[in-house]
């Protein structure tokens, strides 16, 4: 790192002064800890290259004995300082199971302040081309197998828009009706704290208001992902309102100093710019839930809606403000979706539960993060993860059975850990009874319905999820799977396109398009599209199929063996699917038997889908389905 230690650098839009441990961002000076600066410099020294956790420990913590958790927390802290979103990284990208990569260009700061220069990346060995690439954020390993059984139709060549045009086109294509007058989008509240280190708290405030207002039956409120889509973008309120199909927006700010809060909120009628209501709250921190209730009640009253009914009311999540703060930190970090983000988030949830063991929402989130981490990052079932998740979900339900997330947590445990499909569906239904507009529940229930071979219900639920959260890429992924299961392949391909528009750095979407081309018979074009897929495992997963389709059988066999060497131990499920697609029943059954034996996440495989249909008449396969309690 020595070549960069004494140089003032431009990293993306930042001015970085290592000698002073200062970062200049958006006209402000941010003083960082020396180790944080060393972390940034280490990534900059290897710009465009993957830097492993072990390498970071060796270079940044070389004189200290610490574990990987120190790296995870330091990277999460650096991201918060930079305002970087792990799902759409501008600076630091996760590289699944490998480490991190600085994707922003790096150059000496060689121009006068106030001027802009063409920035070229630092040329280090092997990174000249890679520095401009954007690494995808972590994505579910559990979705990788889905490329095998699905056959998506031909890819329509579309001109992809960005920014507000994208949001507007997506909304108008699915929601052509007039804007409802009784509708409001809650925008992310601004963090006005002195150190600008309370963004997670401001975001949490916005999320709680979304949740409160969404419980009012007469009011349409876009879900969190759609409202937060515009965070950090140069977008007018009119453009946001049109994209989300709302008549009003609620915006505000949070200033937190010690145990004191100043929260300002205002409700704006977008077509006229009229401030329907505004108020500033100066209160102690332990009044946070009262403030949220007052803001929600004021919005309801200003829009002349009926007062919240008993079903719409929401009691305080916890009376312990320190536990609530840790809860918000955990929830914010977990949205990075990488293994390290989840490990840090788990620790925050655990700390919150030590402070308040009766915190039902924290128990529910802790249960879910155990299951989602298992689903996304390792296809093997972990007995410990399931035990922790089951215990947490049980505690959450015991403490507050009126909370939708407690039932969602239990549904995930029952489906993924216990293969109890009937019990899982009952929990999904109960969660929707409590909150019919919960986009997260709708998405999860849609995937579940697709898994147990109920494509019509999956489609209905996925369409509702898109309606509720129109700018969430996973809503469109759920919709695409459901459309494909119902034979609507062209619609499915369009939904994947929209998901790709919403998350252009997301891994797997190009592989989906490649599958569509292959299904159409354009196997050479499919292979070419696959080469553009940024995720190595997604590429490796599809090579055997495309080589076979092109008649390159020797290459297909080598690709299968290569996948087995790299991923076979963790991913016997996909190995079974490879052979099912090749109609090699003995090999397929052997790998699927191994999958069931280690209790892997077989729940992710619709047993009557595509390649697995080749095994339907095999009694050994039917025995496996019986063993995992798969419904008829």
**Paired tokens of 72:** 């995870």
Higher-confidence residue: 604 or 595? 595
Residue 544 is encoded by which pair of tokens? 């055997």
Mean pLDDT of 223-239: 80
> Percent of the chain scored above 90 by pLDDT?
11
**Residue 458 C-beta-side C-alpha neighbours within 13 Å:** 22
Instruction: For residue range 502-516, list pLDDT tens digits in order.
Output: 877 666 777 877 776
Which pLDDT score, from 0 to 100, does residue 115 have? 39
Task: Calculate mean pLDDT across residues 51-64.
Answer: 82
Nearest to 334 by CA among 279, 376, 387, 293: 376
Q: Which of 14-23, 139-148, 194-203, 339-348 has the lowest mean pLDDT?
A: 139-148
pLDDT, averaged across the chain? 76
Per-residue pLDDT, 375:
63
Contact 87, 503 (CB under 8 A): yes
Q: Provide mean pLDDT across the span 477-482.
A: 85
What would the mean pLDDT of 198-204 be, rounded to a whole number?
82
Q: Which of 28-37, 153-162, 354-363, 451-460 comes out lowest in average pLDDT?
A: 153-162
Q: What is the mean pLDDT of residues 117-137?
A: 34
Q: Name the pLDDT band for 310 (thresholds 50, 70, 90).
A: very low
CA distance 627 to 623: 6
Return the CATH class of domain 2-132. Answer: mainly alpha
Res 263 pLDDT > 80: yes
Spatial contact of 468 and 223, defined as CB atoms under 8 Å apart: yes
Q: Can you say whether the dihedral through the CA atoms of 296, 301, 303, 308 is positive or negative? A: positive
Q: pLDDT band at 552, cuts 50/70/90?
A: very high
Q: What is the pLDDT of residue 425?
A: 93
Which whole number is the average pLDDT over 114-133?
34
Delimiting residues of CATH 3.40.50.10070 domain(s) in the chain: 163-316
- pLDDT value, residue 141: 36
* 508: nearest Cα among 489, 534, 473: 534
- Delimit the CATH 1.10.10.10 region(s) of the chain: 2-132
The model's pLDDT over 530-543, given as tens digits with 9 standing for 90+, comes to: 888 887 888 898 89
Dihedral pair phi/psi, residue 420, rounded to 5°: -95, 80
Across residues 559-569, what is the average pLDDT?
Answer: 91
Stretch (H or E) spanning 60: helix 53-60
Most confident of 72-76, 325-329, 391-395: 391-395
Residue 193 phi/psi, 5° resolution?
-65, 155
Residue 395 — very low, low, confident or very high, per pLDDT cuts 50/70/90? very high
CB atoms within 10 A of CB 614: 17
Residues facing residue 30 across a β-bridge: 23
Q: Angle at the Cα of 615 (from 610 to 552), degrees rounded to 5? A: 65
Instruction: Please give the pLDDT value at position 110.
Output: 54
Residue 344 and residue 72 in contact, taking contact as beta carbons nearer than 8 Å: yes
From residue 374, alpha-carbon distances to 5, 137, 143, 340, 367 in Å are 39, 17, 12, 13, 11
Estimate the crossing angle of helix 509-519 against helix 489-502, to 10 degrees. 160
CATH 2.40.160.210 fits 163-316, yes or no: no
* pLDDT tier for residue 153 given thresholds of 50, 70 and 90: very low
At 572, is the pLDDT very low, low, confident or very high (cuts 50, 70, 90)?
confident
State residue 81's pLDDT score. 86
How many whole angstroms separate alpha carbon 84 and alpha carbon 232? 10
| Each residue's pLDDT tens digit, 415-466 | 888 888 899 999 999 999 888 888 889 998 998 888 888 888 999 999 999 8
Calpha distance 23→11 (Å, rounded) = 10
Rounded average pLDDT over 18-29: 81
pLDDT at 116 exceeding the cut of 50: no
């Amino acid at each position: 790192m020595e070549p960069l230690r004494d140089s003032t650098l431009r990293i993306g839009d930042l001015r970085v002064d290592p000698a002073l441990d200062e970062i200049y961002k958006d006209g402000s000076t941010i003083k960082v800890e020396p180790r944080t600066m060393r972390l940034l410099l280490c990534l900059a020294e290897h710009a465009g290259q993957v830097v492993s956790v072990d390498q970071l420990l060796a270079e940044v913590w070389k004189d200290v004995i610490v574990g990987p958790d120190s790296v995870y927390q330091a990277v999460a802290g650096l991201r918060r300082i930079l305002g970087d979103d792990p799902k759409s990284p501008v600076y630091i990208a996760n590289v699944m199971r490998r480490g991190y990569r600085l994707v922003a260009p790096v150059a000496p700061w060689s121009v006068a302040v106030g001027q802009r220069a063409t920035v070229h990346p630092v040329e280090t060995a092997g990174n000249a081309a890679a520095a401009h690439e954007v690494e995808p954020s972590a994505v579910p390993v559990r979705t990788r197998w889905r490329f095998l059984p699905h056959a998506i139709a031909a890819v329509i060549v579309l001109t992809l828009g960005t920014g507000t045009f994208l949001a507007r086109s997506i909304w108008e294509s699915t929601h052509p009706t007039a804007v409802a007058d009784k509708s409001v989008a809650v925008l992310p509240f601004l963090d006005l704290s002195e150190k600008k280190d309370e963004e997670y708290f401001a975001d949490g405030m916005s999320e709680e208001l979304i949740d409160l207002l969404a419980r009012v039956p007469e009011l349409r409120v876009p879900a969190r992902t759609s409202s937060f889509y515009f965070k950090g973008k140069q977008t007018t309120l009119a453009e946001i309102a049109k994209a989300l199909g709302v008549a009003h927006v609620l915006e505000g700010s949070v200033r937190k100093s010690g145990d004191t809060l100043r929260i300002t909120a205002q409700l704006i009628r977008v077509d006229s710019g009229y401030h329907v209501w505004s108020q500033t709250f100066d209160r102690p921190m332990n009044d946070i839930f009262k403030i949220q209730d007052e803001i929600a009640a004021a919005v309801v009253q200003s829009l002349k809606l009926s007062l919240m009914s008993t079903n719409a009311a929401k009691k305080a999540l916890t009376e312990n403000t320190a536990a609530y703060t840790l809860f918000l930190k955990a929830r914010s970090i977990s949205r990075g979706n990488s293994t390290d983000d989840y490990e840090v988030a788990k620790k925050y949830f655990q700390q919150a539960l030590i402070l308040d063991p009766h915190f039902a929402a924290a128990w529910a989130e802790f249960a879910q993060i155990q299951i989602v981490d298992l689903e996304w990052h390792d296809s093997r079932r972990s007995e410990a993860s399931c035990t922790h998740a089951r215990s947490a979900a049980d505690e959450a339900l015991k403490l507050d059975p009126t909370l939708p997330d407690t039932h969602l947590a239990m549904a995930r445990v029952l489906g993924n850990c216990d293969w109890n499909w009937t019990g899982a569906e009952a929990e999904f239904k109960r969660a929707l009874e409590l909150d019919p507009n919960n986009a997260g529940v709708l998405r999860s229930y849609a995937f579940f319905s697709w898994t147990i071979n109920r494509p019509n219900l999956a489609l209905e639920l996925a369409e509702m999820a898109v309606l509720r959260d129109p700018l969430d890429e996973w809503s469109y992924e759920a919709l695409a799977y459901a459309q494909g299961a119902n034979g609507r392949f062209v619609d499915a391909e369009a939904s994947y396109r929209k998901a790709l528009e919403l998350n252009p750095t997301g891994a797997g979407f190009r592989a989906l398009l490649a599958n569509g081309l292959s299904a159409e018979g354009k196997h050479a074009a499919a292979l070419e599209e696959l080469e553009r897929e940024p995720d190595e495992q997604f590429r490796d997963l599809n090579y055997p199929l495309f080589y076979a389709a092109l008649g390159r059988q020797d290459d297909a066999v080598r690709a299968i063996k290569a996948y087995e060497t790299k991923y076979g131990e963790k991913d016997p499920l996909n190995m079974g699917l490879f052979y099912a697609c090749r109609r090699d029943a003995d090999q397929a059954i052997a790998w699927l038997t191994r999958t069931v034996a280690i209790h892997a996440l077989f729940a992710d495989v619709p047993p009557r889908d595509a390649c697995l249909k080749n095994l339907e008449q095999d009694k050994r396969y039917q025995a496996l389905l019986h063993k995992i309690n798969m419904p008829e």
